[in-house]
Structure 1
Amino acid sequence: MLALLAVARRTRGRLQPLFEDVTVPQLVLLDAVQACGREGIAAISAYTLLSQPTVTQQAAGLEAAGLLRRIPAEDDRRRRVLTLTERGEQFLAAKRGLVPDRLSAAWGSLTAEEQSMAVPLLRHLMELVSELA
């Protein structure tokens, strides 16, 4: 498991040069905001497996950069939900394809047998990690 975490960290480091204006974790957060930001910080935290304070801190930086906004929830004005700004939508659309393109090349270097073993294993590891959160 530690080896998997180390590989994930190295992968993130190798992808970072693709993004001069945000970090890879911030890009992940933007994706999560698009997917479930209207459900609030807790939903984004669950989606990304990041703590709520981390999501809140990262969101503040992305809000300052004009990529997202925090607005009061319609059902409870004390609670905040996150939405992408128009600039954030455009930014995410432009950057989203860069990661799969790079990872697709790595995936293509695996044999068919390795690919068939990797998918179920990765799904199982994700389930195990989700249980820890």
Structure 2
Amino acid sequence: MARVSPDLSFLVDKASESLAVRMTAALADLGLTARQYCVLDKASAGDRTQGQIAEEALLDKTTMVTTLDGLEQAGLARRIPSPTDRRARLVATTDAGEALVEKAAAVIQDLYDEVLGVLGPEREAVVDGLSRLVGPGGPLAVDAGAARRRRSSRT
């Protein structure tokens, strides 16, 4: 019986799982989860609604609300009414939230540099290749709605 080689699914899953574990540990020192960092980072761009951030972060509505509740309670973000759509809420980071995003981004960049550093000059090619695989039009691109439904069914 012919075997598939390399086992791409295993390699990508293992890399993702291991990176998530390391990111969780690194962000824990700052009192943040990866999900909280993701939401704060996307909110720091400004003028983003809860829905827009949830879509980009591949979070379902309930998870987004729960995450924002925690960020607001911690004084890191706030929801404000949209000036153009009274049904929508913009997410704004506080000064404390911005400072934490900057610290977390540095921690994550250091982690990425360490992990990707073993690749040497192949680093850019690997990142570019993964980006093409999962990016718009790539063979592994994921419909954001389908991804949210899958993630919400796991929790």
TM-score range, shorter chain: 0.7 to 0.9
Q: Cα 1:130–1:41, aligned 2, differ >3 Å: closer, same or farther?
A: farther
Q: Within 2, Cα distance between the matches of 1:54 and 1:125?
A: 27
Q: Within 2, Cα distance between the matches of 1:44 and 1:105?
A: 28
**Residue of structure 1 in register with 2:43 after alignment:** 33
Q: What stretches of structure 1 of length at least 5 have no aligned partner?
A: none
Contact 1:49 1:130 in 2 (8 A): no
Query: Are 1:122 and 2:130 matched, yes or no?
Result: yes
Give the TM-score normalised by the residue count of structure 2.
0.73
Q: Cα 1:81–1:23, aligned 2, differ >3 Å: closer, same or farther?
A: same
Query: Are 1:8 and 2:16 matched, yes or no?
Result: yes
The answer to which structure has the higher helix fraction is 1
Q: Cα 1:5–1:93, aligned 2, differ >3 Å: closer, same or farther?
A: same
Query: Are 1:60 and 2:69 matched, yes or no?
Result: yes
Q: What stretches of structure 2 of length at least 5 have no aligned partner?
A: 1-7, 145-155
Q: Per-residue CA shift, 1:43-81, capped at 9, x if unaligned?
A: 112322222332222111111111000111111223111
Say what the alpha-carbon RMSD is for the aligned residues.
2.1
Larger Rg: 2
How far 1:116 sits from its partner (Å)? 5.0
Give the TM-score normalised by the residue count of structure 1.
0.83
Q: Which amino acid aligns with 1:77?
A: R
Q: Which amino acid aligns with 1:107?
A: L
Q: Which amino acid aligns with 2:77?
A: L
Q: Within 2, Cα distance between the matches of 1:47 and 1:132?
A: 11
Q: Which runs of 4+ in 1 moved over 6 A?
A: none
Residue aligned with 2:101, SS: helix
Q: Which amino acid aligns with 2:36?
A: Q
Q: Which amino acid aligns with 1:25?
A: R
Number of corresponding residues: 131
Q: Within 1, Cα distance between the matches of 2:73 and 2:141?
A: 30
